[in-house]
Amino acid sequence: MTTIRDSRNFSVHEITYTKYLKEGNITALTEIFNQSEEMQIIPVSLYVDGLFFGAKQIEIEAGASGKLFFENIPLETERLHVQIDAEDILAVDNHSYCIIRQEKMQKVLLVSKSNRFLEKALALHPNVELYVSEETSAAAAMTSISMTARFRNSCPRTAAISSSPRNQIPFTICSWGLTPKLKA
């Protein structure tokens, strides 16, 4: 008696996403591989923050891959999980996860008398709230604008404020509050 062994194997190789801020949603793209010896119709599910979001089927030739789009995912989503809903010889590659990067508004203080190029470049970034000061003294600049300067959620322990390369004023950041305290 001959035993026929199922040699079908499917895998999720990639999840990527694009945020559409104006439309208020996310579109996810996933790549599915058919590592079997014949064409297969493969059912695929998407879970958003642990909850079922939708299912699709994709027809893929033997040894090839195909891409699926999932659209209108809520912008507040934190995690995506793509799952192949078919049994095959290797279940571990039937899942893939993706963490959605949350873009938060960052407050940035630019201390400069005449760096219009940098000012315009920072102002173009959709997640930057730009404050500009022409004060040449670090203490005057920081006290004239009552805010916290943060860059990408990291707070440097030391920094230098400069209105020109020759006038760098080094300072140490003691605490972060509405107005950072400076030690000369």
Q: What is the pLDDT of residues 130-169, one digit of tens each?
A: 888 776 555 555 554 443 443 334 444 344 444 444 444 4
What ranges do the domains of the chain cover? 10-99, 106-183
CB-CB neighbours of 139 under 10 Å: 14
Q: Mean pLDDT, to the nearest integer, of 8-13?
A: 92
Whether domain 10-99 has CATH 3.40.50.720: no
Q: Mean pLDDT, to the nearest integer, of 52-60?
A: 97
Q: Is residue 59 within 8 Å of residue 65, measured between CB atoms?
A: no
Greater pLDDT, 139 or 121: 121
Distance of CA 44 to the CA centre of its chain: 24
Q: Classify residue 156 by burial, with Cβ atoms within 10 Å: 0-12, 13-18, 19+.
A: exposed
Greater pLDDT, 7 or 6: 7
* pTM across the whole model: 0.57
Give 153's Cβ-side CA count (13 Å radius): 6
Residue 176 has pLDDT above 60, yes or no: no
Give 35's Cβ-side CA count (13 Å radius): 13
User: Residue 29: pLDDT band by 50, 70, 90 thresholds?
Assistant: very high
* Predicted local confidence at residue 161, as pLDDT: 41
